[in-house]
Amino acid sequence: MPSIVIVDDRVTNRRILSRLASELETKPDVETFGDPILALDWLEQNEPDLVVTDYKMPNLDGA
């Protein structure tokens, strides 16, 4: 099953993007993170098919 990671410090953006991703025909697993550090920790053990990230966030930028 495909997987998507969404990293954004704004909860509204995470909800919108998560809902859009869940409507895809392939029904991917969607993981969301408000803190980029937590996302990086998760990514050490997991390999998603797609990462969608905000560019301007606290602690780290999306790049």
Q: What is the CATH number of the domain that holds 23?
A: 3.40.50
60 domain residue, yes or no:
no
30 domain residue, yes or no:
yes
40 domain residue, yes or no:
yes
Judging by beta carbons within 10 Å of its beta carbon (0-12, 13-18, 19+), is residue 6 exposed, middle or buried? buried
* CA dist., res. 34 & res. 1, Å (int): 23
Report the predicted TM-score, pTM, of the whole model to 2 decimal places. 0.89
Segments forming the whole domain that contains residue 36: 3-53
Provide the number of structural domains found in the chain. Answer: 1
37 domain residue, yes or no:
yes
32 domain residue, yes or no:
yes
Predicted confidence at residue 58, as pLDDT, reads 78
pLDDT in tens, the chain (63 residues): 899 999 999 999 999 999 999 999 989 999 999 999 999 999 999 999 999 999 888 777 777
